[in-house]
């Protein structure tokens, strides 16, 4: 990578996902907002937007592991937390019920394959029966990072993950997302654009998601301020309009035929 450590770039970009507000919502069992087959409810929209919160649960911790541990044909151990065995292309980390970065207790094994050259970096992480607190992760994520300009960074994420929550909910996410970020002199001047297409399954219901107009925003606003996401549910395509650039927590649902509905994130 040019000019900036790849580890610092990845950690910065992962924080952008948090700032966008896509991960700031959670299900509320007391809210009776579930829709019928021809509508999209607030809870369903939250499920779609929050799925990445769980599938990316270990990303920041992974960045610390990558930054602290230089690849080498050796074996080191942190008796209080984890043991790492290195290979020629990455490492295998086994966690023993420890706390990292103030996270919930971490248990299980993850395997990382890592690649870096002067222009880009990437890594693939495989999870098998991996727990962060009571949340179980299975599957894999590949993250590619490039820096086409001094202030322009691109993060591409390919996911195929299953998340089992303690109350019995099983979420899956499969597909790709691309986050482009333009660094500025302040939070308001640092902007991003998110694109991609993926599926989210919640039990027997599957939502197919495509960003037809990039979701854009800045780090000063906790929500995307513009862009269009199309959600397919039971064969019905519903547009989710994030607005005209105003910083607020509202989106407009656009149904076939032109009917609209405003929801809060």
Q: What is the pLDDT of residues 42-93, one digit of tens each?
A: 778 877 877 777 776 666 666 667 666 544 444 444 556 788 888 888 888 8
95 or 50, which is more confident? Answer: 95
Band of residue 174 on the pLDDT scale cut at 50, 70, 90:
very high
Instruction: Say whether 102 sits in a helix, a strand or coil.
Output: coil
CB contact at 8 A, 145 and 1: yes
Rounded to whole angstroms, the Cα distance separating 155 from 138 reads 22
Full-model pTM: 0.77
User: Looking at the chain, how many residues does it have?
Assistant: 265
Residue pointed to by tokens 């990303």: 59
216 or 204, which is more confident? Answer: 216
- Weakest-pLDDT range from 2-11, 89-98, 185-194: 2-11
Residue pointed to by tokens 């509202």: 250
pLDDT of residue 26: 39
The radius of gyration of the chain from alpha carbons, rounded to an integer in Å, stands at 19
In this predicted structure, the answer to whether residue 210 has a pLDDT above a threshold of 80 is yes
Q: What is the DSSP letter of 249?
A: S
Q: Alpha carbon of 58 to those of 73, 99, 130, 132, 174: distances in Å?
A: 24, 12, 10, 8, 17
Tell me the per-residue pLDDT of 9-40, one tens digit each, with 9 for 90 and over: 555 555 554 434 443 333 443 333 344 556 78
pLDDT of residue 25: 39
65 or 180, which is more confident? Answer: 180
Contacts of 174 (CB under 8 A, 6+ apart): 159, 160, 161, 198, 199
Tell me the per-residue pLDDT of 129-165, one tens digit each, with 9 for 90 and over: 988 888 899 999 898 888 888 888 898 989 999 999 8
pLDDT of residue 58: 67
Phi/psi of residue 171, each to 5°? -110, 140
Which pair of structure tokens corresponds to residue 74?
Answer: 């050796």
Phi/psi of residue 22, each to 5°? -70, -15
pLDDT of residue 207: 92
Instruction: Say whether 251 sits in a helix, a strand or coil.
Output: strand
End-to-end CA distance of the chain: 36
Q: How is the chain split into domains, by residue range?
A: 6-218
174-181 mean pLDDT: 92
pLDDT of residue 197: 94
96-101 mean pLDDT: 73
pLDDT of residue 40: 81
Q: What is the DSSP letter of 34?
A: -
DSSP labels, 66-133: HHHS---S-EEE-TTSEEEEE-SSEEEEEEEEE--TTPSPEEEEEEEEEEE-SSEEEEEEEEEEEEET
Tell me the per-residue pLDDT of 218-247, one tens digit each, with 9 for 90 and over: 888 888 999 999 999 888 899 999 999 999
Helix-strand-coil split of the chain, %, nearest 5: 15, 50, 35
In this predicted structure, the answer to whether residue 215 has a pLDDT above a threshold of 90 is yes
């Amino acid at each position: 990578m040019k000019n900036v450590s790849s580890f610092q770039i990845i950690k910065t970009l992962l924080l952008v996902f948090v700032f966008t507000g896509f991960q700031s919502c959670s299900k509320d069992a007391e809210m009776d907002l579930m829709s019928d087959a021809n509508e999209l409810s607030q809870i369903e929209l939250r499920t779609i937007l929050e799925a990445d919160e769980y599938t990316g649960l270990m990303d920041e911790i992974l960045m610390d592991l990558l930054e602290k541990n230089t690849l080498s044909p050796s074996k080191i151990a942190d008796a209080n937390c984890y043991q790492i065995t290195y290979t020629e292309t990455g490492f295998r980390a086994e966690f023993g019920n420890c706390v990292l970065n103030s996270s919930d207790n971490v248990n299980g094994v993850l395997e990382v394959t890592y690649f870096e050259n002067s222009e880009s970096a990437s890594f693939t992480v495989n999870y098998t029966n991996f727990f962060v607190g009571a949340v179980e992760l299975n599957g894999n994520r590949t993250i590619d990072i490039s820096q086409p300009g001094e202030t322009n960074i691109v993060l591409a994420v390919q996911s195929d993950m299953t998340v089992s929550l303690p109350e019995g909910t099983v979420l899956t996410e499969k597909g790709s997302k691309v986050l482009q970020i333009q660094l500025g002199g302040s939070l308001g001047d640092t902007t991003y654009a998110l694109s991609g297409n993926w599926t989210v399954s919640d039990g027997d219901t599957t939502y197919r998601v495509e960003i037809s107009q990039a979701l854009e925003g800045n780090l000063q606003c906790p929500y995307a301020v513009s862009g269009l996401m199309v959600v397919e549910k039971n064969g019905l395509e519903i547009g989710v309009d994030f607005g005209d650039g105003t910083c607020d927590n509202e989106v407009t649902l656009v149904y076939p035929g032109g009917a609209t509905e405003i929801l809060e994130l």
